[in-house]
Amino acid sequence: MENIWSSWNGNIRHSYENLFFPDTENEIVKIVKNAQKLRVVGTGKSSADIAAGTSTLVSLEKYNQILSIDHKSHRITVQSGILLKTLLQEMEKNGLAFPALPDIDDITVGGAIATGTHGTGKNAQSLSEYIVALKMVNASGEIDTIQSGDPALGAYKISLGLLGVITEITFQCIPRKVMSISERPMKDDLWLAAYKRMLQENDFLRILWLPHTGYGYVITGNYVNENERVLEKKGPWYYSYRRAVSKFLYQKAIKKPARIVTANKILKKLFFSKEQQKFGSLYDATVTKSRGSTLELAEWTVDIDRFDTLFFQLKKELNNKTNNAFVHIPMDVRFMKAETGWLANGLGKNIVTMGCVTRNAEEANHYKAFELVENLFLEHDGRPHWAKRFQCGRKVLNRLYPNWQNFVELRQKRDPEGKFLNAYLEKIFI
């Protein structure tokens, strides 16, 4: 019987010959030496076809230990197969934190850093930007160590598994703090006029934009002292059913996408109309811990100075009924500071990121919004999230990333036989 690997929502499926579960670096070295074509698979949450598609697959789910914690320098070293949630829970216990976190914790740390997984906020950058050292098994099966200060670190921070199998990672953390978080709906013209100021005035800012309703749901947060605990004000009991209700409503819209407009209005009224107040660490108070249904995701990023113009165009296009690009809510608007990773969305510039999702993952190929959003962001030199769905190819990416050619040459030098390439990555990087 054929072995089949499948992504979490079943949209990507590949056959494979061998799937290994090493728990030591030596085993990883042996597997890499013996394989002709190899990819590391994490939890398979990426919508882009970047995880499998080779004869040999390696899961690092048993290579998942915390190796050391340096309390003085706030550094933590882990094996790359560790789940982000295990790492974050351990960091919480040890009084450590990251300055920003993605809205998912059920992913591997290796998968998160390979793809530029990120959060939002005044000082937010992707998790890769907090790497100060990493170890990697290269295509010949040798172990390379890359430390901060090495000019090449920028290439390895976000490398889609193309430069080798990352084994150990040391992160620079910050001391754990608590945050007071406020959430409320705001009319589009109000949040648009205020988001730059809100970004200056708050440590955390996230806007869940609600297309076809005229509103965004604005979440701001600030670090406070433990004794400044605010009284939490949570939404009604039925809030925990938001994803299930959304899925139900959007399934009804498959045949007539215009029904999405009504679905969005219902969802806004039910789930995004009340003020809420939360208190806790960034991890406790802002990260979704479980999801009732699968999604298919795209996410685009743009220079913050170009966001306003882009947003007006986007809103106009989405409201134009003739193009049938009605969008499921929310579209997640997040903010990041400039980064140094060669393939970082935020390389050299402060950016706004914007998510676009469909809850009907199996219908993703017919979801018109993906194409519309991509075309608009590309008009503004936007860059796509590596783990998510996009169509543009290497010519466009070459134009968008100043270090593109350097990365392509480094990849070729480190892996001349293309051991770490699958068909999708080959199209982009060869």
Ligand X SMILES: Cc1cc2nc3c(=O)[nH]c(=O)nc-3n(C[C@H](O)[C@H](O)[C@H](O)COP(=O)(O)OP(=O)(O)OC[C@H]3O[C@@H](n4cnc5c(N)ncnc54)[C@H](O)[C@@H]3O)c2cc1C
List residues near ligand X by CB under 6 A.
39-46, 50-51, 60, 80, 102-104, 107-108, 110-112, 114-115, 117-118, 160-161, 165-166, 291, 295, 297, 385, 387
| Residue with smaller CB distance to ligand X, 112 or 153 | 112
The distance of closest approach from Cβ of residue 111 to ligand X in the complex, given in angstroms and rounded to an integer, is 2
Between strands 75-79 and 143-147, the pairing is unpaired
The distance of closest approach from Cβ of residue 375 to ligand X in the complex, given in angstroms and rounded to an integer, is 22
The distance of closest approach from Cβ of residue 125 to ligand X in the complex, given in angstroms and rounded to an integer, is 11
The distance of closest approach from Cβ of residue 148 to ligand X in the complex, given in angstroms and rounded to an integer, is 19
| Residue with smaller CB distance to ligand X, 55 or 262 | 55
Q: Residue 420 corresponds to which tokens in the numbers above?
A: 């770490």
| Residue with smaller CB distance to ligand X, 80 or 246 | 80
| Residue with smaller CB distance to ligand X, 108 or 202 | 108
The distance of closest approach from Cβ of residue 321 to ligand X in the complex, given in angstroms and rounded to an integer, is 29
| Residue with smaller CB distance to ligand X, 376 or 425 | 425
Question: Rounded to an integer, what distance in angstroms lies between the CA atom of residue 272 and that of residue 92?
Answer: 29
| Residue with smaller CB distance to ligand X, 227 or 359 | 359
Burial of 38 (0-12, 13-18, 19+ CB in 10 A): buried
| Residue with smaller CB distance to ligand X, 223 or 424 | 424
Question: Rounded to an integer, what distance in angstroms lies between the CA atom of residue 339 and that of residue 126?
Answer: 8
| Residue with smaller CB distance to ligand X, 319 or 333 | 333
Helices 188-201 and 307-319: crossing angle in degrees, nearest 10, is 150
The distance of closest approach from Cβ of residue 334 to ligand X in the complex, given in angstroms and rounded to an integer, is 8
The distance of closest approach from Cβ of residue 187 to ligand X in the complex, given in angstroms and rounded to an integer, is 25
| 348 close to 303: Cβ distance less than 8 angstroms | no
Q: How many CA atoms lie within 13 A of 319 on its CB side?
A: 11
Q: How many CA atoms lie within 13 A of 286 on its CB side?
A: 32
Could you give the 3-state DSSP secondary structure of residue 74?
A: coil
Buried-state track 336-349, b at ≥16 Cβ within 10 A, e below 16: bbebebbbbbbbeb
Q: DSSP per residue over 300-337, as a string?
A: EEEEGGGHHHHHHHHHHHHH-GGG----PSPEEEEEE-
Q: DSSP per residue over 36-73, as a string?
A: SSEEEE-S---SSS-S--SSEEEE-TT---EEEEETTT
Phi, psi of 339 (to 5 degrees): -130, 175
Question: Rounded to an integer, what distance in angstroms lies between the CA atom of residue 74 and that of residue 72?
Answer: 6
- Collect all residues with Cβ–Cβ distance below 8 Å to 212 and sequence separation of at least 6: 260, 261, 264, 265, 318, 319, 326, 327, 329
The distance of closest approach from Cβ of residue 319 to ligand X in the complex, given in angstroms and rounded to an integer, is 26
The distance of closest approach from Cβ of residue 275 to ligand X in the complex, given in angstroms and rounded to an integer, is 23
The distance of closest approach from Cβ of residue 414 to ligand X in the complex, given in angstroms and rounded to an integer, is 13
The identity of residue 430, as a single letter, is: I
